[in-house]
Amino acid sequence: VESCPQSTLEQDGVCYDCDSNCLECSGDLKTCTQCSPELLLDQNRCVSECSQGFTTTSDSPKECVQCSEICKDCETTLTNCTSCHSEKFFFENDCLDSCPSGYLG
């Protein structure tokens, strides 16, 4: 096979269809490298929303990118936290080691 059409992968000279959600795949049929327009690429899978700890950004609007390690979850940017790991305190979209002066945690 010279080259396979989009949404297929060549294996042993035969073109096979990628997973139905993949626009393109690589390595195996379920490892997506590009998704259908309505889906997001999340760790080589095509999904309708990012998994916990991942978000889309303006730099990667169609791909889920891992939040900063300080955030348990984030949105819009990697450091705009929406929740924190249990040992941190959530304050104004940030995760702090302790509560600011005048606040209780």
Number of domains in the chain: 2
DSSP states of 7-66: TEEEETTEEEEPPTTEEEE-SSTT-EEEE-TTSEEETTEEESSPPTTEE--SS-TTB-EE
Whole-model pTM? 0.76
Q: Domain of 85?
A: 50-97
Quick one: 24 and 56 in the same domain? no
Q: pLDDT tens digits for 49-65?
A: 999 999 998 887 899 99
d(CA 81, CA 88): 11
Q: Which residues contact 98 (CB under 8 A, 6 or more apart)?
A: 89, 105
- Domain for residue 102, yes or no? no
Is the pLDDT confidence value at 2 over 80?
no
Quick one: 44 and 63 in the same domain? no
